Amino acid sequence: MAVAPVSDLQIEVGSSKIVAPAQAVEHSTLFLSNIDQEAMYKVESVYVFAANPERASDDPAEVIEAALAKTLVTYYFLAGRFAPNAKEGRLEVNCNGAGVLFAAATSKLRLCDLGDLSVPNPAFRSLLVQPSDSLGLFETPPATFQITRFKCGGFVFGMTIFHSLMDGVAITGFFDNLGSIARGGGVVMVPNPNREFLKARNPPQPQHYEQLMCRQFRVSSFSEIPLLPFNPTTSSVNNFAPEKHVFRSFPVSSQMISELKQACLKDETLSRCSSFEAITAHVLRQVARSRPSDPSALVSTFLAVDFSRRLQPPPPPNFCGNAVVAACVAATRQELCTYSLGHFARRVQEVLSDVDDEYVRSWTDFWELHRIGPARIPIGACLSAWWKLPFYALDFGWGTPIFAGPVPNQLVGFIVIVANGKNDGGANVYLGLEPQEMAAFEKNIYELAESPPLIHAAF
């Protein structure tokens, strides 16, 4: 019988403070790209470290706080604040050295009392320090850090950061530097946060992006796609999960991944299929099957795509920013439930191949003209892959983490493929759904057989 996760981590926050760069930084303004404007949401993650007998007398909070202050000298933009550019109607970063929020906490529990760390636990939100609710977006530190030490000597590093400032690749670079300094070394890579290469063209040329989105949503004009307006002054800065939303994590073994890839190739729809394409096709199909809705209703899903290797020319060396754009795959629920896995994997493959230099440029141009983009489109799910990012390499001098992953949040339809920490070729699928949808998904996720009867036809 599965053991229920601990609902109270018995955490006491001993101190909460602002940590500024260890040296004075020159005040400046950081331009945020149009892609950044659409990524004004928080990414929250925790990293669990077992006790290290050789460091029993050392306080990880003190070590990491000191290292953080030194790291912020080169990551000065993290210590700034979001600011409105009223003239251009967009957000930017005031690099004023105001600092990040840092908290040191303790728990009366041992790490082993938490049970299976891969099981999403809403109580893990207490491992993240939250800014005061009274602060608006422009007063809120864009990054927060909490070190929670447990009774056994182990600790958890909890981090919250706006995706607009750093994507997963940039975060791993930040971890390399922070860990190196915490271990007594120095900066291993000087980050370059300059986003000027992502500015819109003059004049803007959005036609390519418009055509692709019209094709996805099966409309003749982009104006037929319902969009929500962009308002930087009301961007949300709080991240709390809806009470009724349920989060689960499902292990996907290397054998299951292999079987999914074979299933995708079975009907010869595809000549090749990556692990990501196979997992994505399977998961999105099962999510659709778990949601009661009109069979003819169009279900749109955003895939987070790293475009850094798709730009011509590529981003500058050591680029530290947000190089992720949303690619939309849309299909009716009937199609998702009845077409073969290979057909939908092909759909995912085609959407990913759409993301090239012109896609990114035309997307940027479209936002420049209309101040609306993917984040304003009502979606069924958003899927991101973290499993190839080296989060398990983070080392403050206590060794690498025994667990690294997201925590339950407010993002409906939030799906992340994460590493399982075992280096065995498998992964975990982490997602949040409504209770009745999750119950159905749990029954479907390991069902690899094609059912009901298939329809082999082009979308």
- Which is nearest to 303 in space by CA: 432, 442, 413, 173? 413
Q: For the chain, give the longest Cα–Cα distance.
A: 67
- Please state, in angstroms and as integers, the Cα–Cα distance from residue 146 to each residue in 54, 110, 404, following that order: 22, 17, 15
Residue spans of beta strands (DSSP E) within 150-229: 155-162
Ranges of CATH 3.30.559.10 domains, the chain: 11-195, 205-444
Which stretches in the chain have pLDDT values below 70? Answer: 1-4, 227-243, 373-379, 449-459
d(CA 176, CA 87): 37
pLDDT of residue 239: 34
- Please state, in angstroms and as integers, the Cα–Cα distance from residue 441 to each residue in 284, 304, 307, 436, following that order: 10, 22, 31, 9
pLDDT of residue 236: 41
Other beta carbons within 10 angstroms of residue 32's beta carbon come to 26
CATH superfamily entry for domain 205-444: Chloramphenicol acetyltransferase-like domain (3.30.559.10)
CB-based contacts of 424: which residues, under 8 Å, 6+ apart? Answer: 253, 254
Enter the tokens of residue 223.
């104006």
pLDDT of residue 11: 97
For residue 421, the one-letter residue type is G
CB-based contacts of 311: which residues, under 8 Å, 6+ apart? Answer: 197, 357, 360
pTM: 0.92
- Which is nearest to 316 in space by CA: 193, 201, 199, 166? 193
Residue 44 has, within 13 A of its CA and on its CB side, a CA count of 23
Cα-Cα-Cα-Cα dihedral sign, residues 200, 204, 209, 213 = positive
Given a contact cutoff of 8 angstroms between Cβ atoms, the answer to whether 49 and 61 are in contact is no
Helices (H), 33-100: 34-37, 60-74
d(CA 448, CA 440): 15
- In degrees, to the nearest 5, what angle opens at C-alpha 133 toward C-alphas 68 and 40? 65
Name the class of domain 11-195: alpha beta
d(CA 380, CA 377): 10
Q: How far apart are the first and last CA of the chain?
A: 43
Q: What's the chain's length in residues? A: 459
Q: pLDDT tens for residues 287-318?
A: 988 887 788 888 888 999 999 999 999 999 99
- Please state, in angstroms and as integers, the Cα–Cα distance from residue 53 to each residue in 106, 397, 435, following that order: 18, 12, 42
Given a contact cutoff of 8 angstroms between Cβ atoms, the answer to whether 301 and 456 are in contact is no
pLDDT of residue 231: 55
Backbone angles phi, psi at 288, to 5 degrees: -65, -40
- Please state, in angstroms and as integers, the Cα–Cα distance from residue 394 to each residue in 14, 41, 49, following that order: 25, 23, 10
- Which is nearest to 100 in space by CA: 185, 166, 35, 150? 166
Residue 424 has, within 13 A of its CA and on its CB side, a CA count of 12
Taking only Cα atoms into account, the Rg of the chain, rounded to an integer number of angstroms, comes to 22
Using H for helix, E for strand and C for coil, what is the string for 119-164? Answer: CCCHHHHHHCCCCCCCCCCCCCCCEEEEEEECCCCCEEEEEEEECC
